[in-house]
């Protein structure tokens, strides 16, 4: 299966001008109707497909960061796959995960029964935008023919496996080893993050600050083996935490037991770390340990359940 078979000059929209997110999605849905092999159920057109994509968008923004958005939806009875791609003449506010405007969007619509097809195409689309030369060439394209040529020239688009690089999100909060613990924990609270990476001066992940780890600072190891704590109800497990917070750094209390996987790690490897090994996050890293992004349970649910 190759991505180019779903693309024509009719469903590619370079330098598109839009008013807002809804206008972007409606124009992309209209273009997606030109996808080869697409068959819609009776009574279904642009309005119904747009409603499905916008309903998905209200669940959680599909702005994945760094200027990219992947709006998508599922419509029962649809046969094949509806696809369109657009670059924007002006960056668009999109409520993206990193708060940055979007200037590049790929749209996919499929049925629940063909969700795997949508996932594979999204994986290939993600590969496109992560290749810097191809990404910039797509952004420079001024007409659909040039846009399509950029895609068809790209090699290696046939990998059917959903990998970490296609699921990961940007790292929105990270701290250095010498960051005061109080500052780090207050930022975690403000951003509502359960766990964050601790990086060295070269950007490598060397540890993790997590709520589990922080709350466990004052709990003796033998407590973890007990089935009941009724005999020590008055013990204050947070006393040590507050003492530590006042004068420690992130490096002093970080855990070095964290999950780090390469960008080509498979979905199965990610789920093993998240579900079987119970890590709150997986840090996606380069060979030298530099952090590229994160994958958590929400990211997997978003990609697998919602498409």
CATH number at residue 205: 3.10.580.10
Per-residue tokens: 15:
């330098």
| 169 domain-assigned | no
**Claim to verify: residue 210 and residue 258 sit in the same structural domain:** yes
The one-character DSSP state at 41 is P
Q: pLDDT tens-digit profile of 235-254?
A: 555 555 566 666 788 998 89
Residue range of the domain that includes 192: 175-305
CB atoms within 10 A of CB 88: 22
Residue 168 lies in a domain: no
Query: Does the residue 236 lie in any domain?
Result: yes
CB proximity list for 197: less than 8 A, separation 6 or greater: 171, 174, 175, 205, 207, 208, 258, 281, 283, 291, 294
pLDDT tens, the chain, 307 aa long: 467 788 899 999 999 999 999 999 999 999 999 999 899 988 888 999 999 999 989 888 888 777 889 899 889 889 988 999 999 999 999 988 788 899 989 999 988 777 677 777 776 776 676 666 777 888 888 889 988 888 777 655 555 567 787 778 888 889 999 999 889 988 988 888 889 999 999 999 999 998 888 776 755 554 455 555 555 555 555 555 566 666 788 998 899 999 999 988 988 899 999 989 989 899 999 988 899 889 988 877 766 655 5
What is the rounded distance in angstroms from the CA atom of residue 71 to the CA atom of residue 165? 18
| Nearest CA-CA partner of 108 in 87, 78, 151 | 78
Encode pLDDT of 140-180 as tens digits. 888 899 888 887 776 555 555 677 877 788 888 899 999 99
CATH code of the domain covering residue 134: 3.40.930.10
Q: Is residue 270 part of a domain?
A: yes
Q: What is the pLDDT of residue 12?
A: 93
Same domain, 185 and 253: yes
Same domain, 200 and 259: yes
Same-domain pairing of 117 and 203: no
47 lies in a domain?
A: yes
Catalytic residue ranges: 72
What's the domain count of the chain? 2
165 in a structural domain: no
């Amino acid at each position: 299966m190759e991505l180019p078979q779903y693309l024509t000059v009719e469903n590619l929209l370079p330098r598109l001008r839009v008013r807002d997110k809804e206008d972007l999605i409606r124009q992309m849905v209209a273009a997606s109707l030109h996808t080869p092999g697409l068959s819609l159920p009776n009574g279904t057109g642009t309005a119904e497909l747009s409603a499905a994509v916008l309903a998905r968008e209200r669940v959680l923004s599909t702005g994945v960061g760094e200027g990219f958005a992947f709006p998508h939806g599922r419509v029962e009875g649809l046969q094949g796959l509806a696809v369109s791609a657009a670059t924007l003449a002006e960056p668009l506010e999109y409520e993206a995960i990193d708060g940055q405007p979007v200037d590049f969007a790929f749209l996919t619509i499929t049925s629940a029964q063909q969700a795997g097809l949508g996932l594979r195409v999204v994986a290939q689309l993600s590969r496109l935008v992560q290749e810097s030369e191809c990404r910039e060439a797509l952004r420079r394209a001024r007409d659909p023919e040039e846009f399509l040529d950029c895609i068809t020239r790209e090699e290696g688009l046939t990998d059917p496996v959903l990998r970490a690089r296609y699921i990961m999100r940007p790292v929105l909060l990270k701290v250095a080893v010498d960051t005061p613990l109080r500052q780090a924990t207050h930022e975690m609270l403000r951003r509502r993050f359960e766990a964050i990476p601790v990086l060295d001066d070269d950007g490598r992940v060397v540890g993790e600050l997590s709520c589990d780890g922080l709350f466990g600072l004052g709990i003796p190891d033998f407590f973890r083996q007990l089935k009941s704590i009724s005999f020590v109800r008055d013990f204050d497990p947070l006393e040590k935490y507050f003492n530590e917070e006042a004068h420690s750094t992130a490096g002093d209390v970080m855990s070095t037991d964290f999950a780090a996987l390469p960008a080509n790690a498979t979905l199965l490897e990610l789920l093993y770390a998240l579900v079987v090994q119970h890590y709150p996050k997986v840090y996606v890293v380069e060979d030298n340990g530099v952090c590229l992004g994160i994958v958590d349970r929400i990211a997997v649910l978003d990609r697998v359940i919602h498409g």
